[in-house]
Amino acid sequence: AEAGVDIASIPGRPGSPREAEDVLRHVRRDATPLASRMAHAAGIDPAVLAEGVARRVRKEDVEAAIEAASSGNSATTRGREDRRIPFTTVQKITGRRLTESSTTIPSVTAFISADATSLLEARDQIRAAGAFRVSLNDLVVRACAKSLAAHPRANSSVDGDALILRGGVSIGIAVATESGLQVPVLRDADRLNLEEQARLSRDLAERARSRRLRPEESEGGTFTVSNIGMYGITAFTPIINPPQTGILGVGALEDRYVPGPGGAPAARKFLHLSYTFDHRALDGAESSAFLVSVKELLERPLLLVL
């Protein structure tokens, strides 16, 4: 009763006076009823305040804890202080450019899925033949290069009240590094064969991760490909890297059953694609034509090898 506790109401209550006294002693050790109410109202655990204290927590203890919490020195947060981590130079530059993009470009994101079953088979056959190393991302970049050459407005930049159709196709490939996201540029990607493209892409990515990329190798891109499918992300809204007018996001592969020969269900693998474009440069029809072109090339991998 002294601690404001009805012993009879305690589940599994003690059966002897000695056991009852032990329970009361434990309750008294935590906090006075007033201190307990104040602590709970302030979101503070009285048991934390009682650590290392030989007496019950009192009103003044809770008041001190509340004051300390307001100054960031609360005993309840010891060892969990906030940390300030300065952005790297790469992250600062990326942040400025993406902020510019999200505040100045009227962007729209369109989504589509491509049946990548034959594409993956072609990739595996190239690897098995030992011809050269090629990745799924290499094949996506290849499809983009061909589609950009066929759809010039998707390979453009906005200049005031005019649109500049870029003379060459140079694709930036987003690479995650310890210092932040870097986007080395694969120049004249539409003029490279698949082997050349795969080799150059791998070299750029490796040097970006090891901080050996030259500044000029991240400049002059006309389009960007960003692949986060390896993390299981199916769809996202990538942000355009100005002055470019488009970026393709590559998502995860998904197993689906679709009607096969004779109507029987057949297992296929589908690749999720997210295309963000500048609506000043392309309208819905033009952007859709470009994205469908990428999809159709991925579904006809022989055209990517040629």
Active site residues: 279, 283
Specify whether the CB–CB gap between 294 and 272 falls below 8 A: no
How far, in Å, CA of 112 to CA of 128, rounded?
30
The vertex-251 CA angle with 245 and 257, nearest 5°, equals 130
Going by C-alpha positions, the residue among 269, 268, 224 that lies closest to residue 250 is: 224
Going by C-alpha positions, the residue among 195, 200, 201 that lies closest to residue 306 is: 195
Collect all residues with Cβ–Cβ distance below 8 Å to 69 and sequence separation of at least 6. Answer: 42, 44, 76, 77
Three-state secondary structure call for residue 246: strand
How far, in Å, CA of 156 to CA of 130, rounded?
37
- For residue 235, give the amino acid letter: A
CB atoms near residue 165 (< 10 Å)? 12
Residue with token string 């005019």:
162
